Structure formats: C-alpha cells, structure tokens
Amino acid sequence: MNSAPLPLSGLRIIDLTMGWAGPLATRNLADLGAEVIKVESCKRFDWWRSWEATPEWVADNGAEKSPQYLSVNRNKLDITLDLEHPTGRELLLNLVATANALVENYSGSVLPKLGLDYPNLVKANPELVMVSMPAFGSTGPWSEFRAYGSTVEHSSGLPHLVGDPDQPPTMQHVAFGDAVGGLNGTAAILTALWHQKQSGKGQFVDLSQVECLFPLAAHGVLHQSVTGQAPQRTGNAHPEFAPYGVYPCSGDDAWVVIEVTDENQWQALQGLIPDLADFSDLTDRRHRRESLDTIIAQWTREQSADMAMQTLQSQNITAAKLNNGHDLLHEPQLESRGYLQWLERDHVGLQPNASAPFRTDSEPMPIRHPAPTLGQDNDYVLEEILGLSADEVSALERQGVIGTKPELAN
C-alpha cells in the first residue's frame, strides 16, 4: 500500500448536499483525499436514503441500506446537525470556520432562511469557497425552481437531439443531469480551491446543472447557431458514416454497436461478411443503408455480442457489446483494472464501489472506507475538530440537535 499522502490531504470540505449530483461532486474530492464532512439532520436526512420513508423503513435501518446513498458517499464523514435549531446553526458556523470549502445544493431559498447563505458564512470564514449548485443556477428568474436530474435533462434541450424523428424527444437516463452536474461540481470546487491556494482568497461559485448539459448538446447547439436550422434527429443512422448502428446478436436482448468510419475498416468488414461485396463507396452505403444493415444483422445474429465485438475488433473495426448492469460486474476491462473495489459496510455486508475514473498508478485511487452511517462521526467532529466535551455532545443529543436515527415528520 502506498503511504504517500493523497492529493487533497489537508483540505476540509463541508458537504451540505443531498441526492446524487452534489454528493457525487464531493465524493470525487473525498476520493482525492479531502476530508469531506457530510452534514445531515435526523429530521432532514439525505433524501437519497429514501424519498418514501416509513416507520417500517426506519425500524429496519432502511436509511443505511440504500445502494444509491452508499455509492456517492464513500470516503466521507457524516454528522447530524439540526440546522433549524440555533445551536445546530452555531456549530455549523464553527465548523465552517475550520474548512476550505462548503458545497450545497438546497433549493434557493433554504439557506437564506436559515441565515446560512454566503454573506453569513463568509463572516465565519473570510477565505471560504462556497459552491452552490442548484438546477438552474443561483441567478435568473428560475433560480428557485425545483428539479431532479431528469428535469435537468428535459430543460437542456438535449432530448431533441436523441432518438428517432417519429418518437418524442428522447431521454437518455432516469437522472442524466445528476451525474453531469456532479462532475462539473467537482471541477468548480477544484478550480476555486486552486485560486484559494494561490491567492488566499475564497469566493462564491455558482453552478447551473442545466448549463452543465449544454456541452453535451454542443453538436446540436452549434448546428442551430451556424445553419439557422434545427438539427434533425436521425436515430441510429449517422449523418456521415455507414455502416453505423446497433445490431442484434444471439441471445436475449443482446446487441453489438458497429461503427465503420474509414475505408480500411470497410474493407475489413467486407472480408468478414462476404455478402457485403455488392456495396461500394460511402455514398452507395449511405444510399442503401437499410439493405446494408440487414446483411450485417444476419451476420451478427449468428454469434454472441462478445464474440461479434472480439471478431470485429480483431480486424480493427470499431465495435462493442452492449452491457447491462450484471455484465458490468464481470466486464473484463473493468475487472482487469480493479475498477470495482469491494468493502464491507454495516447493515449491507460486502458491496462493490466504483473507482475514480483516473489513476496515477496501476491501481485505482483507494476507497478508504464505505459510506458513513447517519451521524457516525458526531463524536469525532464535535470533540476533535470543534473541541466540545463528551458531556456537551451528550447534551446535544438530549436536545435533539444531533442523533443517529432518522425521524419522520408527523
């Protein structure tokens, strides 16, 4: 095990985010070695633990069993503070005074109502970086509008570029905006931390999750701007290349994507599928795309998706099988790079954890510990960082400022 410090060792991040996007942004910092302290409360716990909590769920420790919560909160610490209680707010401000950055993704009106908006937080720590990542940004007429990752995708216009023209504008994922917002959130925090390190100054950072999707729609945005014409959705037919598409393989719901982008690949494909000899140049192939796809599908149906991929790739033809969730557990490329790291976690046992998508060694960035339980680190944070005594911490628990069990609203 490498004992060198992790890249962001020594940085402290206060994490007031919930759901997917915000916690992913801070998870990436935790993976890089920052001390990320997630702040929930027993009454307002991360809704990613459940959006339909019931007394039975509480009794069954449901708050500790949510795979989605576990996946974006590993490598973090967790405390509970009731921010609607004056003492909870005071403790948060004390914690902020020790931190490099605070990240939040509440609806726009929440923190100002609590007196915990940037002007107040910066009084506690003039060098603080604060990153706010609401769906539509913190300025503009929609700044307080509500959204999930799906709403973010809807609002970006991206669905108008996806799928067949005779279908509705097409979503790509149940919560596409969350993952993209999370990655951009990491970029925003790191950029501001870089500035803080160079200048000694903090600042407010505003991230619009919807705007984070515009780069993914850039090909359509640019087409509209340059031509003045709306880009047409073309399904799986590529505007330039043929063959290009998703082809059926043997087995249930088995598919391979094939993409021929130059004449070398085309000739190699003709070598594998002799019935393609009748087709000539790219113009001909695009003109007779349907016939072309039919012949290729006859060939792919005779083999597994993995075999099709391996055969095509052996001829330098761009191709890949379409994985599902189960396939990902055994995907050779991911397996060979140790992409899934396995950790024991209270209440759920051994669990896979996805690694950071970059590495400097042959091994991925270490996942040091699994996601914390609710309030798991109350004692450490309140006593070791804020200097409270054990009696004071016990008093906070009696007052309901802190705790370790979810409480449902009446």
Partner 1 sequence: MTENSSASGVFQDLTIVDVSGSVATSYAAKLFADYGALVINMESAEGFPTRGLKPLLPSGESAMHGYLHTNKQSVVGCQTYLRDEQAIVNADLVIYDPNHLPRPDYLADIERNTCAISWYGLTGPYAAMQGSDATVHALSGLMRGIGTPEGPPIIPPGYQAQIIGGLSAFNGALGHLLAISLGNLNSVFQLDASILEANMCFTDLAAINAYNDNPLPPRMGINRFPPTYPLGIWPCKDGWLGVTALTPGQWKAFCKLLDMEHFAEVELFQSSVSRLESSDLLEPEILQALSQHSAEELFYKGQAMRIPLARVPTMEELFEVDQYSSRNAFSTVTVGEETFSAPSTPFRLFATPPHFGGTVADLGADNHRWSTTHE
Q: Does 111 bind partner 1 (CB under 8 A)?
A: no
Return the residue of 170, 270, 304, 311 that touches partner 1, per CB under 8 A.
Answer: 170
What are 7's two structure tokens? 């890249």
Pick the closer one to partner 1 by CB: 74 or 89. Answer: 74
Q: At what angle do helices 176-199 and 21-31 cross, to 10 degrees?
A: 50
Pick the closer one to partner 1 by CB: 235 or 400. Answer: 235
The SS3 of residue 254 is: coil
**Neighbouring residues of 305: CB distance < 8 A, sequence distance ≥ 6:** 249, 251, 254, 255, 256, 321, 322
Question: Which residue in 407, 345, 395 sits closest to 71, CA to CA?
Answer: 345
Q: Name 131's bridge partners.
A: 103, 205
Site track for partner 1 across 271-310, x = CB under 8 A: ----------------------------------------
DSSP for 101-130?
EEEE---TTHHHHHT-SHHHHHHH-TT-EE
Question: Contacts with partner 1: how many residues (CB under 8 A)?
Answer: 144
Residue found by looking up tokens 């209440």 in the block: 347
Pick the closer one to partner 1 by CB: 19 or 375. Answer: 19
Site track for partner 1 across 354-383, x = CB under 8 A: xxxxxxx-x---------------------
Site track for partner 1 across 32-51, x = CB under 8 A: xx-----------------x
243 cis-preceded (ω within 30 degrees of 0): yes
Pick the closer one to partner 1 by CB: 7 or 86. Answer: 7
Q: At what angle do helices 305-314 and 263-272 cross, to 10 degrees?
A: 120
Task: Please write down the HEC assignment for all residues of 3-50.
Answer: CCCCCCCCCEEEEECCCCHHHHHHHHHHHCCCEEEEEECCCCCCCCCC
Q: How many CB atoms are located within 10 Å of the residue 201 CB? A: 12
CB of 352 to partner 1, least distance (A): 5
- Find out whether 104 and 111 touch, Cβ atoms under 8 Å: yes
- Torsion, CA 297, CA 302, CA 307, CA 313, rounded to 10: -40
Q: Does 248 bind partner 1 (CB under 8 A)?
A: yes
CB of 301 to partner 1, least distance (A): 12
Pick the closer one to partner 1 by CB: 315 or 373. Answer: 315
Site track for partner 1 across 309-348, x = CB under 8 A: ----x--xxxxxxxxxxxxxx-xxxx-xx-xx-------x
User: What part of residues 183-242 is at the interface with partner 1 (CB under 8 A)?
Assistant: 183-188, 190-195, 197-198, 201, 203-208, 210-212, 214-227, 230-231, 233-236, 239-240
**Neighbouring residues of 338: CB distance < 8 A, sequence distance ≥ 6:** 355, 363, 364
CB of 391 to partner 1, least distance (A): 36
CB of 137 to partner 1, least distance (A): 6
Q: How many CB atoms are located within 10 Å of the residue 36 CB? A: 29
Return the residue of 113, 123, 146, 368 that touches partner 1, per CB under 8 A.
Answer: 146
Stretch that binds partner 1, among 169-177, 279-287, 373-381, 388-396 (CB under 8 A): 169-177
Stretch that binds partner 1, among 56-64, 87-95, 141-149, 375-383 (CB under 8 A): 141-149
User: What part of residues 249-268 is at the interface with partner 1 (CB under 8 A)?
Assistant: 253, 255-257, 259, 261
- Torsion, CA 398, CA 399, CA 404, CA 406, rounded to 10: 130
Residue found by looking up tokens 């962001």 in the block: 8
Site track for partner 1 across 6-35, x = CB under 8 A: xxxxxx------------x---x---xx--
Q: Rounded distance, CA 330 to CA 260, Å?
A: 27
Stretch that binds partner 1, among 172-180, 279-287, 368-376, 389-397 (CB under 8 A): 172-180
CB of 136 to partner 1, least distance (A): 6
Stretch that binds partner 1, among 109-117, 175-183, 381-389, 393-401 (CB under 8 A): 175-183
Backbone angles phi and psi of 304, in degrees to 5:
-70, 160
Stretch that binds partner 1, among 2-10, 84-92, 367-375, 382-390 (CB under 8 A): 2-10
User: What part of residues 60-89 is at the interface with partner 1 (CB under 8 A)?
Assistant: 67-68, 70-71
